[in-house]
């Protein structure tokens, strides 16, 4: 994957479009750090299907992050009863 600076969106749009067509995807950076992903959309692709797949990917990444945090906090080995207690306590605190 090729990295392109954010400013190229404004300064070199034609070159950026050519690179995107050629590479298929580009990583947009701000101050050298990844900011966004651009993907080439062929005319026959369904935008709705692509957006659905991206939503699913985001959900999977969020779940992986939650599971990793639970392992770090030692919550991956609690019993079902302990989990229920935590959920009940959290719900009560949110109501207050």
Q: Tell me: the pLDDT tens digits for 37-90?
A: 999 887 776 888 888 999 999 999 999 999 999 999 988 888 999 989 999 999
d(CA 96, CA 91): 9
Tell me the β-bridge partners of 37: 27
How many C-beta neighbours within 10 Å does residue 87 have?
Answer: 10
Range 8-23 average pLDDT:
94
Sign, Cα dihedral of 40, 46, 50, 53: negative
**What's the confidence (pLDDT) of residue 92?**
93
pLDDT for the residue numbered 45: 66
pLDDT (mean) for 11-31: 95
CATH topology of domain 2-39: YefM-like fold (3.40.1620)
pLDDT at 55: 95
What is the DSSP secondary structure assignment for residue 6, as one 8-state letter?
T
Q: d(Cα 4, Cα 25) in Å, to the nearest integer?
A: 11
As given in the structure block, the two tokens for residue 64 are 């992986």
Token reading at 26: 């580009």
Longest dimension (CA), the chain: 59
Return the domain boundaries, the chain.
Answer: 2-39, 47-95
pLDDT at 10: 93
Q: What average pLDDT does this structure show over 18-43?
A: 92
């Amino acid at each position: 994957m090729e990295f392109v600076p954010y400013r190229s969106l404004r300064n070199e749009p034609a070159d950026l479009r050519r690179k995107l067509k050629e590479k298929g995807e580009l990583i947009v950076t701000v101050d050298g750090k990844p900011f966004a992903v651009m993907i080439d959309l062929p005319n026959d692709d369904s935008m709705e299907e692509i957006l659905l797949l991206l939503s699913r990917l985001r959900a999977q990444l969020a779940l992986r992050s939650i599971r990793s945090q639970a392992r770090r906090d030692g919550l991956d080995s609690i019993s079902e009863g302990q989990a229920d207690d935590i959920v009940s306590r959290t719900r009560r605190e949110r109501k207050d």
